[in-house]
Structure 1
Amino acid sequence: MTGLLDAQGLEILHEGHRTRLKWHRLRKRLADPLFSVEVMSEGFAAGASMELDLRVRGDGGFVVLHDKGLEGETTGHGPVAGKSIADLSDIRMQEGGRPLILSEDLATMMQSTHPAALLQFDVKDDFEAIGARGIRHLAEHFRNIAAAVIISCNSLDLIVAVKEKLPELLRGIDPSDKLYDIRKAGGWKAVEMELRADLRGPTEPDTIYLHWSLILNAAKEGLDMIGLCRDEGKRVDAWTFTLRDPEAGFSDEEWMNFSALMALKPDQITTDEAPATERAWQQRMAG
């Protein structure tokens, strides 16, 4: 059962361990529109952990989008990195015709949130694209609400730059793709060595984002990646576990994987179906 406002889809308590359920791309349910302000507002009020994607604009600010180009998610055209606020003002999301969310909007919305609320900024551009101007923008708008933000990116150079400019901001790294490649080339021992190096590296991350299947495959071979991270004082987010049929709950295969994941005690699980996942867990645990 959840411990925050009796809301659904916030966390699972199991054997004394709290695992948060993070709302992927601001979706509490997969039926929610992509990057929904309404869902984000609900999450801020309830103390949810949520994630959104950021793309840098041509003026150094950011917009909440996943893709490099506007065509897939919006009514616009062309690369996001070439657009200013004025260019984006008349563009709408494909789902529901909603306005785009700008970083300035986020800063305003986050002035008043539940103390447990946490919003992950998953930045999709690298440091070369964002540059010092983008870092200054983040510092200007989010320094005073740093406790509610964690920033992640595939670019370790960007995370280091954020650490230097905004040391109070939580940081996360996702080495999953790299570790999959290392596993193929050098085996699980090489994966362990690389992960340890990342944990002790210059990014000084708070949270490590690991693909849930990678975590389980490693555990089968005797490598407890979550335990390794915990020993280094880091938290682990296992991404992205989404029920195929939210109304039906866990299939037998999903239950086998999810219960094995929970036994390893991740700090957080990313999902597109947070309330359904919590409900399905409670049903299974009830027999």
Structure 2
Amino acid sequence: MSSSDDSTSSTPPPIAVTHAGRRTRLKWHRARRRPSDTPFTASRIVEAMRVGASVEVDLLIHADRGFAVLHDRDLAHSTTGQGDVSRASATYLRGLSLTDNVGNPTDDGVVLLEDLASRLDGVDIADDALLQLDFKADAAALDAAALDVFARAVAPFADSAILSCGDADAVTALCDAAPDIHVGYDPCHRGAIGRTLRSGDFRGFVFSACRDSPRAEMIYLDQELVLRGADRGADLIAAFHAMRREVDVYTLARADTSSVARFARLVDRGADQITTDDPEGFFAANIVAEATESERSD
């Protein structure tokens, strides 16, 4: 069964929370609206774009130099297929089904980036919708053929999409190929978190990120770096705001007591967007928190 067949629409949909006059977007991590969802289903991607959500999918290059919307290179981890995605043809991938969170086959097929425009054709994409395409490799994996496929695939919806990657050279190459797409960068890879926490050089971290990806509109930050930095007096969100970048903090899984407390801290610190597997849960928790605060103020 499709993981989203039983979708129950909340009103409004779980796309953002508002606190102290600030709006923080809830990004649907791996195109999940709730933790039980199968990641990367076409139906959730389409739903997110229709209701105006920020939604993230991962990209891996397949054998025909296009891009599979998957996180794991080993197809057996999340699909009915076998082998490495880099050795799988587009035809083979289109014939696979996604598996759910316990490994059972679903009715949802593997999505390819080059097929996504046709999936979105006719969809009334909301003005605020933003599809994050998170490339899970570095620039060395890209060649002219892959860049050409990327450019042609995203052209129909580029203005509603943002490319992200932890490799600044890959960000440059992909965004040069598709100049209308929005630009994002994740500077938290290759040991950057550990180096920054050991050195305490938070200003240097911010400077390096902006230098390495000067066109980035959105910076993606690991929650541990943001919160541990805050405990030491460093406000990374404010620092990137001062550099005219928005900040997405990732990834909060399920909306339990501990993660709701973290969520509240990140919202209070001014995160523009928070990545989560549980948008519904955090949206509901925020409603309760705001109602409680309002009662205390009365």
With normalisation by structure 2, the TM-score equals: 0.86
Report matched runs for 1:1-287 at 5 Å: 6-95=11-100, 96-111=106-121, 112=123, 113-177=125-189, 178-186=191-199, 188-189=200-201, 191-245=202-256, 251=257, 253-287=258-292
Instruction: Give the Å deviation of 1:225.
Output: 0.4
Partner residue, 2:296:
none
Q: By how many angstroms is 1:138 displaced?
A: 1.3
Tell me the secondary structure at the aligned position of residue 59 of structure 2.
strand
TM-score normalized with structure 1 length: 0.90
Question: Which segment is superposed worse, 102-111 or 68-77?
Answer: 102-111
Q: Which amino acid aligns with 2:136?
A: K
Distance in 1 between residues matched to 2:231 and 2:253, nearest whole Å: 22
Are the counterparts in 2 of residues 10 and 274 from structure 1 also a CA contact under 8 Å?
Answer: yes
Which structure 1 segments of 5+ residues have no match? Answer: 246-250
Secondary structure in structure 1 of the residue aligned to 2:26: strand
Instruction: Measure, in 2, the Cα distance between the counterparts of 1:165 and 1:99.
Output: 27
> Contact 1:171/1:204 (CA < 8 Å) preserved in 2?
yes
Aligned amino acid, residue 149 of structure 2: H
Report if aligned partners of 2:59, 2:71 keep a CA contact under 8 Å in 1: yes
Give the partner amino acid of 1:219. Answer: A
CA distance in 1, matches of 2:95, 2:138: 27
Which amino acid in the other structure matches residue 108 of structure 1? Answer: S
Secondary structure of 1:200 counterpart = helix
Q: CA deviation at 1:220?
A: 1.6
User: Which amino acid in 1 is paired with 2:254?
Assistant: L
Quote the Cα distance in structure 2 between the aligned partners of 1:32 and 1:256: 23
SS at match of 1:213: helix
Cα deviations across residues 126-156 of structure 1 (Å, max 9, x unaligned)?
Answer: 2222222111111112123211110111222
- Alignment partner of 2:76: what SS? coil
Q: How many angstroms apart in 1 are the aligned matches of 2:82 and 2:173?
A: 30
Inter-partner Cα distance in structure 2 for 1:77 and 1:59: 17
The one-character-per-residue Cα deviations of 1:187-244 (angstroms, maximum 9, x if unpaired) are x22x320221211334521111111221111112111100011111101001111235
Letter in 2 for 1:89: R
Counterpart CA distance in 2 for 1:127 and 1:121 is 15
Contact 1:163 1:203 in 2 (8 A): no
Letter in 1 for 2:26: L
281 and 97 in structure 1: CA distance in 2 versus 1, 3 angstrom threshold: same
- Identity within the alignment, %: 31
Maintained 8 Å contact 2:94/2:112: no
> How far 1:17 sits from its partner (Å)?
1.0
Label 1:202 to 1:172 Cα distance change in 2 as closer, same or farther (>3 A).
closer
SS at 2:77's partner residue? Answer: coil
Structure 2, unaligned runs of 5 or more:
1-9, 101-105, 293-298
CA offsets per residue over residues 228-286 of structure 1, 9 Å max, x none?
A: 111111010011112354xxxxx2x4443222211111110011111211111111222
- Give me the whole-angstrom Cα distance separating, in 1, the residues matched to 2:95 and 2:179: 35
| Aligned residue number for residue 248 of structure 1 | none
Asked whether the equivalents of residues 58 and 134 of structure 2 are also in contact (C-alpha less than 8 Å), the reply is yes
